[in-house]
Amino acid sequence: MEAASTSIDGNRRGVIRAALDWVTRYPMLVVLVLLAVASEIVYPGFFSWGNLQNLASQNAAVGVVAVGMTLVIIAGGFDLSVGAGAAMGAVFYADQSGNMALPLALLLTLLVGAGFGAINAFFISRVGVNSFITTLATTSVFTGIALIYSNSDTVIADAANFDFLGAGDIAGIPVPLIVLVAAFVIGELVLKLSVFGHKLFAVGGNPEASRLAGLRVDLLKASTFIIIGVLATFAGAMLASRVGIGQATFGATIPLDAIAVVIIGGTSLFGGEGSVWRTAVGLAILAIVNNLFNRMALDESAQLVAKGLIVLFAVAVETRFRRN
């Protein structure tokens, strides 16, 4: 009997130890579950299909940019210019939609984003300017270009079906939700299953060792800025499609939100570690928090303070667990 009791106690300790280990490895999943349960208790109906669709649609643009930001940060970079890229995508797509078929207008918009990303990539990879400084500077440049292009005015889109990308649906499923899920799935597959993704982890983890191993470190980092440039203008096109206009002021909060989502999800700011599925968790947490703030009618300035504190908390948690 004593041996059986000892065995049971040992099993219990093993289960507890495994549970604690899981919580330590995935603390933000625990936070997500607690937030979701609290939201349902405070505001019944949170888990309704309609509310979940709305949450996904409202945060799709940030989520798409966050996928690109995950790649950039894993490779050891940083991009603050995504908000300006989204603004340019919004005004350009809204303007060109009246001149040509929507798919072609979208394609040209993405090419503009690739061009913006290539500018960042050139100064970061070829000239050797720090990515933080480069994208801080190009934020001003890209915003100025968007203002010049739109004459500092609202671009009204009147093309038929212009709202499809940002507010349409396919078989009853919102297009933004489809786009968001596709972006997360493709991003995770690229990171975990492709040679390109494995190289990004290597470059972010130890760029010098990667260079000595024969990897083209500069080219790999540059590619992430081009990718996020494309995704930022795509996000801007989604925003314009949703409201029917394009403005150079769109996307002002996207950089903070996208970075917050990636960090909250657990991707390391030091590079070389992270995943897109973790970013999806971060997006879900931020979406729930925003939803709660809106239902509480919390002032926008207070929301900014809260978001900043959440990012600080997430970084502190990551740093603490990394040291341990």
pLDDT tens for 18-65 read: 656 666 667 778 888 888 888 888 878 777 888 888 888 889 999 999
pLDDT given for residue 266 in this prediction: 83
pLDDT given for residue 15 in this prediction: 63
Contact between 200 and 71 under an 8 Å Cβ cutoff? The reply is yes
In percent, the amount of the chain with pLDDT more than 70 equals 89
Q: Is residue 270 part of a domain?
A: no
Q: Is residue 4 part of a domain?
A: no
Task: Report the pLDDT averaged over residues 5-30.
Answer: 64
pLDDT given for residue 270 in this prediction: 81
Task: Report the pLDDT averaged over residues 208-212.
Answer: 89
Domain containing residue 146: 59-255
Q: Is residue 134 part of a domain?
A: yes
Compute the distance between CA of residue 251 and CA of residue 72 in angstroms, rounded to an integer.
Answer: 19
pLDDT of residue 98 exceeding 70, the answer is: yes
Q: Is residue 11 part of a domain?
A: no
End-to-end CA distance of the chain: 39
Q: Is residue 161 part of a domain?
A: yes
pLDDT given for residue 233 in this prediction: 97
Q: At what angle do helices 300-323 and 27-42 cross, to 10 degrees?
A: 150
Compute the distance between CA of residue 237 and CA of residue 231 in angstroms, rounded to an integer.
Answer: 10
pLDDT in tens, 118-137: 999 999 998 989 999 999 99
Window from 20-29, 260-269, 287-296 with minimum mean pLDDT: 20-29
Q: Is residue 72 part of a domain?
A: yes
Q: Is residue 303 part of a domain?
A: no
User: Which of 80 and 313 is assigned the larger pLDDT?
Assistant: 80
pLDDT in tens, 301-310: 777 787 778 7
pLDDT given for residue 6 in this prediction: 57
pLDDT of residue 194 exceeding 80, the answer is: yes
Q: Is residue 323 part of a domain?
A: no
How many CA atoms lie less than 13 Å away from 242 in the CB half-sphere? Answer: 20
For residue 226, give both structure tokens.
Answer: 């081009």
Q: Which one-letter amino acid corresponds to residue 73? A: I
Contact between 175 and 55 under an 8 Å Cβ cutoff? The reply is no
What is the band of 84 on the pLDDT scale with cuts at 50, 70, 90? very high
In percent, the amount of the chain with pLDDT more than 90 equals 51
For residue 122, give both structure tokens.
Answer: 């050139």
Number of independent structural domains in the chain: 1
User: Which of 289 and 276 is assigned the larger pLDDT?
Assistant: 276
Contact between 152 and 257 under an 8 Å Cβ cutoff? The reply is no
pTM of the entire predicted model: 0.89
- Eight-class DSSP state of 126: I
